[in-house]
Amino acid sequence: MKKSFLFSSLLVVLLTSSCSNVTPDAASNQVLPVKENAKEDKDAPPPLNEAEKGVLQKLGGELLPDQNIKIGDITILRREKEISFPGTVNMTSGDLEVLISMPHGRVHESLLGSKVDPMKLQIALLLLGAENGTRTGGEKIKQGTVFNIDVKPEGGKRIPVENWLSNKQTSKPMDRLGWVFVGSSFSHDMLCLAKEEGNIVNIWSFGNTILDNPASTGENDDFIVVNPNTVGKYQSPVTIYFSFRDKGK
């Protein structure tokens, strides 16, 4: 099993369609730098130059008219320094081990479902400037970038995902401590294991995933449950947002 930890530089992988076609070694240290704001709109993200557009094309992405970036179903919101992607409410009661799973993942114990490609999500986080690391940090490899996760029901307000979760040991809402970018491991034949296992964000820190739970509630599977009084309707669509917990990023 192989895992890449990237800290000071951006991993750019020549991504075409799926995670299984990507190897962690097929990378170059190119970046999409932040430039001065465009004169036409001081709030608009800066345009990309031709070299940056070439990198984006190799990633299978596209530059949108508003200068945000689209990679598959994932939108990189450059001005807000966030990413968003579609999902659905997958459970309205019961014990949870997964926050966001793919359709072939542990859907029987996942709050949300999404069809996004985990490797494309990993690339999007790196393009945003995040660094993958360990769940809690250590002497040799530091903790990965911590993100807040919000959900926005169709026609509703954007709220912290923890509003839909409860700690059954304390009978209180799950603490909003963020979710750590750990990144996926790869098999000996270079399959992305987060995609193979169907995990996008884990609550119980078990198996391969892109984001993981850094809190003590991630240490076993007997803490977090759905809050049936606050969660959205079953199978209702939501937009999922990842934003830097450290706004200084």
pLDDT per position as a tens digit, 125-149: 999 999 999 999 777 789 999 999 9
- pLDDT of 18 above 80: no
- Give how far Cα 20 sits from Cα of 98, 139, 184, Å: 22, 31, 12
Please tell me the distance from the alpha carbon of residue 34 to that of residue 210, in angstroms, as a whole number.
25
pLDDT per position as a tens digit, 57-78: 888 899 999 999 999 999 999 9
Amino acid letter, 142: K
The C-alpha angle with vertex 199 and arms to 57 and 227, in degrees rounded to 5, equals: 120
Closest C-alpha to 96, from 203, 235, 213: 203
Range of weakest confidence among 25-34, 54-63, 95-104, 192-201 = 25-34
* Phi, psi of 226, deg, nearest 5: -70, 140
Percent of the chain surpassing pLDDT 70: 82
Confidence of residue 222 (pLDDT cuts 50, 70, 90): confident
Which tops the pLDDT comparison, 174 or 35?
A: 174
- pLDDT of 116 above 90: yes
Question: Is pTM, for the whole model, over 0.85?
Answer: no
